[in-house]
Structure 1
Amino acid sequence: MEIQLMPVELNHKQILYNLYQFYLYDFSRISEEDLGFDGRFEIKLEHYWEDPRWNPFFINYEGRIIGFLIILFENYDTDPDPTHVIYDFLILSKYRRKGFGKLAAFQAFNLYQAKWKVVQMKTNEQAIHFWRDVVNQYTAGQYSEVFRENLNKYVQSFTNRIISANCANGTR
């Protein structure tokens, strides 16, 4: 089973918009968001191509789009060493519980050697279970988790940076 992460180009914005309708539909059980008067969920995507902190990817399997993920470079505009965040993540229902989500997450983490965060709403028990399992497997248990009461969210944090022996010893 091989998947590919493909950057979403501006000319494919409508495809990502369409996929977001499924994402927001799934998420509406938690967010309690309503449809707009046109029968669609409201989503603005322009900033994904206007702001270099946002990095949208399609998740492809056997030439078909099976989902998407968004990576945010948090504090990119103020910190030369931003934390990378999996901001939004969708695997279509047909492909869930088959390992595709874990493969996509691992590939996303492998794109950048960085500090990482993954965040889930307290009420999204499926996402909490999924991300705890994925991050635990990816890091071999070397991650931290906190519950942010002010946000009502769980946050798993880790790094996949490779620190050279000289830097680890305090020399360069």
Structure 2
Amino acid sequence: MIITKAEQNDKHIFRQLMTLFLHDLSEFNSDLEINQSNGLFEFDVLDWLFEKEGLTPFFIRIDDKIIGFILLQSGPFSNQEFADYVLNSFFIMKKYRRQGLGREACKVFFKQLPGRYAISQIKTNTPAIQFWKNVYKSFDIEYYEKEEREEGHEIIYQYFKV
């Protein structure tokens, strides 16, 4: 498994994966709707990911096949008092879930980018919450958890260091 930075010429691929991610997330976030003119879930600041320092998209690959992505915030897009990195989005395509690949991706990623992290989940997204708690347990990561309210949603944050 390798994790590689998505480059400008990969934007169209990342856009499609983001559409799948937002579709899955819409089960837990009623604010997410498809664009009525093209029928897709769209990430309104997608271009920023390829233009602004501190927003970095990564592909998760196995045998040269993209199976998911990670969207990382750092610098001015992280809460530098508490975290060097905010893991904004983590996505594994359904076909590849429940095989340990998400956990393996975390292992590889955290080895590549050690530091202080913040990760959040919508409180109703119990599969994501359980996934991250299993990751912390697997890697013996001690974390601090905090609940917040953002844009009308109850959010659970975990803070930890790797």
Tell me the TM-score normalized by structure 2: 0.87
Q: Please report how far the alpha carbon of residue 159 of structure 1 lies from its aligned counterpart in structure 2 after TM superposition.
A: 1.2
Note the residue ranges of structure 2 that are not aligned, 5 or more in a row. Answer: none
Structure 2 equivalent of residue 130 of structure 1: 131
How many residues align? The count is 157
| Percentage identity across paired residues of the two chains | 29
Q: Please report how far the alpha carbon of residue 86 of structure 1 lies from its aligned counterpart in structure 2 after TM superposition.
A: 1.1
Matches within 5 A, 1:24-63: 24-32=22-30, 33-37=32-36, 38-43=38-43, 44-63=45-64
Cα-Cα RMSD: 2.1
Alpha-carbon deviations, 1:72-110, whole Å to 9, x = none? Answer: 115468959952111111101111010110111122212
Tell me the TM-score normalized by structure 1: 0.83
Structure 2 equivalent of residue 156 of structure 1: 158
Deviates more, 1:113-122 or 1:71-80: 71-80
Q: How far apart, CA to CA, are the structure 1 residues paired with 2:82 and 2:28?
A: 32
Deviates more, 1:47-56 or 1:151-160: 151-160
Structure 2 equivalent of residue 94 of structure 1: 95
Structure 2 equivalent of residue 168 of structure 1: none
* Structure 1 residues 24 and 134: CA distance shift in structure 2, 3 A: same
Find the structure with the greater CA-based Rg: 1
Q: How far apart, CA to CA, are the structure 1 residues paired with 2:78 and 2:20?
A: 31
Q: How far apart, CA to CA, are the structure 1 residues paired with 2:58 and 2:125?
A: 23
Which of 5, 8, 27 in structure 2 is aligned with 1:7? 5
* Structure 1 residues 79 and 155: CA distance shift in structure 2, 3 A: closer
The 4+ residue runs of structure 1 with deviation greater than 4 A are 76-82
Note the residue ranges of structure 1 that are not aligned, 5 or more in a row. Answer: 161-172
Structure 2 equivalent of residue 167 of structure 1: none
Structure 2 equivalent of residue 146 of structure 1: 146
Q: Which has the higher contact order (CA 8 A, sep 6+)?
A: 2
Instruction: Name the SS for the 1:29 alignment partner.
Output: coil
Instruction: Name the SS for the 1:130 alignment partner.
Output: helix
Structure 2: which amino acid aligns with 1:28? S
Give yes or no for contact 1:145–1:157 (8 Å, CA) kept in 2.
Answer: yes
